[in-house]
Amino acid sequence: LHILFLCISIYSQGSQSDDLTPEKIFEKVDNSIVVILAYDDAGNVFQGSGVVINNEGLVVTNHHVCKDANRIEVKHYSKEIKGVTIYKYDEAKDLLFLETGDRTLKPIDFGTSSNLRSGQRIYAVGSPEGYENSISEGIVSGSRIDENNIKLIQMTCPITDGSSGGAVLNSKGELIGLSVSGQHEGALYFAIPVNDVLAMLG
């Protein structure tokens, strides 16, 4: 019995040690999350966030961030990447992929959205109102289906304008969703499941 208890205790400690502190999570993903600047024909600029997903500099963001753009730039602190082109998109799922050609940024680690639990601790990193790479903490509130029959993660991580396309992460710092929208008065915030992102990559 004593040996069984010891084994359970060691397993429990090992499971807990997989979880990172918020500081470590931010450190892990800071070079994987960027600012998106989308310019329209009138010279207006729309700002969102994006996540680097491979070694060739492919970035995923929300389609609505870039839908009216005739020019797109990606920024990461002092680095500015121009000549960004659209690789593919799905307007219904609000996903869009950008080719930057930049190989200096770090691809994010992928998790899965298939086993998320209500109450699970999660983190959002993006650039709300242009405040680059801000981190917020919350929990999974539930899984929802919107009016277009698209599955979304409901969460309590606060996001606002400019956060769209940012990373939603589990406690290991793995991507489990992409921030998409929020209703601030009612504290309702939503993310696109990472499995939908991966499905588009084939």
Say which of 164, 171, 179, 196 is annotated catalytic. Answer: 164
- Type and span of the H or E element at 16: helix 2-17
Say which of 32, 49, 63, 94 is annotated catalytic. Answer: 94
64 labelled catalytic: yes
Q: Could you tell me if residue 93 is left (phi over 0), alpha (psi between -120 and 50 degrees) or otherwise beta?
A: alpha
State both tokens at 149.
């029959």
94 labelled catalytic: yes
Say which of 64, 90, 109, 181 is annotated catalytic. Answer: 64
CB 143 within 8 A of CB 154: yes
CA distances from 70 to 9, 45, 85, 196 (A): 57, 10, 10, 26
Partners of residue 98 on adjacent β-strands:
59, 86
Selection from 192, 177, 169, 156 nearest residue 122 by Cα: 169
- Distance between the two ends of the chain, CA-based, in angstroms? 49
Which residues are catalytic, by number? 64, 94, 164
